[in-house]
Amino acid sequence: MNTSDYKKKIKNHFSDKAYKKLDKDPTNTIAQNATILVEKNKIPCKTKSTLKPIPLPPRLYGLPKVHKLNNSLRLIVSAIHFPIYNISRFLAQILQPLTGKFESHITNSTDFIQKIQKIRLRPTDLLVNFDIEAFHTSPNKRYIIKASHKVPSDLIPLIEHCLTTTYFSYNNQFYE
C-alpha cells in the first residue's frame, strides 16, 4: 500500500465520532494520576515500585486487512511503555483467571473448535459470523467496571483508570 493511501485510510477512521482530537499531550497528567492511584492503593510496596508509569505516549498505526475488499486498515495502538502499561499488565494477571468463568469466553481458535464440535445442528440451522466494527471504541466502560463484582474493590480505581485512559498519538497529533 502506498503512503498516501495509508494516510487517507487512517484519516478516514478519525471521522468516527469515537475519536476526539486533543489540544495537547496528556501523557504527563495520566502518569501523575496513575502514580497517585498506585500510592493510595493497598498493593504491597514491593509491587508498587514495579507499577511506576513510563511517560511515553501510545502510538497508532494500521495493518492492512488483506482479506477485505479495498484493504481497509485494522488500527493498532502500540501501548508498550506508556503511562499505564505496567498497571495494565499487573491487573491483567489478576483478572485473567476470572475471564474463563463466563460461558461465552473463547480462549483461542482451538478452544472455539472444541466448543462447536459439541454442538449438534439440524440441516436447517445456520452458522453466522458477526464482524463487529469499532468494538474497542464502543464498549460501555462503566458497565464493564460494574460487572467486575468478583474483583477486589481497591483495584476498581486502577481498572477504571486503565479503561478510561485511552489516547494515542498519530502524526504528532493526540487523540482520545
What residue spans define the domains of the chain?
A: 3-120+133-175
Q: Chain-centre distance of CA 113, in angstroms?
A: 25
On whether the CB atoms of residues 16 and 134 are closer than 8 A, the answer is yes
Q: What pLDDT is recorded for position 89?
A: 92
What's the grid cell of residue 90? 499487573
pLDDT at 68: 75
Q: What is the model's pLDDT at position 24?
A: 95
Tens digits of pLDDT across the chain (176 residues): 889 999 999 988 888 788 889 999 999 999 999 999 999 998 999 999 999 888 899 999 999 888 877 778 888 999 888 899 999 999 988 887 776 666 667 888 898 888 888 888 899 988 787 666 655 555 555 555 555 567 778 888 898 888 888 899 999 999 98
Q: Is the pTM above the cut of 0.85?
A: no
pLDDT of 86: 93
pLDDT score at 34: 93
pLDDT the model gives residue 21: 92
Q: Rounded to whole angstroms, what are the CA distances from 24 to 13, 29, 58, 106?
A: 20, 11, 14, 39
Question: How many CB atoms sit inside 10 A of residue 60's CB?
Answer: 21
